A = this chain, B = another copy of it.
Amino acid sequence: MTFQDYFPIWNKLQTDQQDRIRSNLNFRTVKKGTILHNGDMDCTGLLLVKAGQLRAYILSDEGREITIYRLFDRDLCLFSASCIMRSIQFEVTIQAEKDTDLWVIPAEVYQDIMETSAPVANYTNELMASRFSEVMWLMEQVMWKSLDKRVAAFLLEEASIEGSSVLKITHEAIANHLGTHREVITRMLRYFQSEGMVRLSRGMVRLLDEDRLRQLQD
């Protein structure tokens, strides 16, 4: 499997555009925890995930975090190349959540092609619309949903991503995903534990009653 199998609109590119991307592509292997992009950096480029998991989050002045979306195999990250559009006026940080293999497409290469190619521009539109939808979903969550529902939904999502009901995750990490404080998460998880929905141990949350967590999240 090579880049062209992962890049969804490869066949809609002209030969010279394919050549230009191919000859400017960088392949990277990064360790879990690596910061691939942050707001201070110049344009890192578009990131196409071959295998692994990335997380995009925003940071408050006080260092609080909230996850705005995640990227899995075959996902393309646009906002690590926000310089390609002058209207992108916000900063995200992109971090590897697992060891990740990815390609980096230089921003100016992508931008040049997008400027003249309707298929690339429309694909970029769909990509942005899909991230936009995730952020709007998140906005609805933080506006209208109480934190117990959001913690329940997060635990179920993690279990589904990991394919396991035993989650190796700290309370701090959960807080950073949901934009709250560690103490608040610890209190909530202890309540879940007292209700028999989870069992807690150091750096670990074991889901005991996914049905009840599901009822809670709705």
Contacts and interface: CB of A to CB of B under 8 A. Distances in A.
A164 interface: no
A88 B132 CA distance: 7
A115, A135, A143, A179 — most chain B CB neighbours (10 Å): A143
Interface stretch (A61-69, A190-198, A206-214): A61-69
A186 B143 CA distance: 19
Given A132-B132, A132-B135, A179-B143, A86 B126 contact: yes
Given A118-B117, A144-B61, A90 B136 contact: yes
Contacts of A117: 118
Contacts of A128: 125, 128-129, 132
Interface residues of A, number: 40
B62 A144 contact: yes
A85 interface: yes
A181 to B, nearest CB: 12
Stoichiometry (number of copies)? 2
Interface in A116-150: 116-118, 121-122, 124-133, 135-140, 142-144
A160 interface: no
Nearest to A135: B135
B126 A125 contact: no
Contacts of A153: none
A208 to B, nearest CB: 29
B126 A115 contact: no
Interface string A87-122: 111100000000000000000000000111110011
A60 interface: yes
Contact of A129 (B62, B85, B135): B85
Nearest to A86: B126
Contact of A66 (B89, B138, B143): B143
A85 B139 contact: no
A143 B179 CA distance: 7
Contacts of A130: 87, 89
A143 to B, nearest CB: 5
Nearest to A78: B129
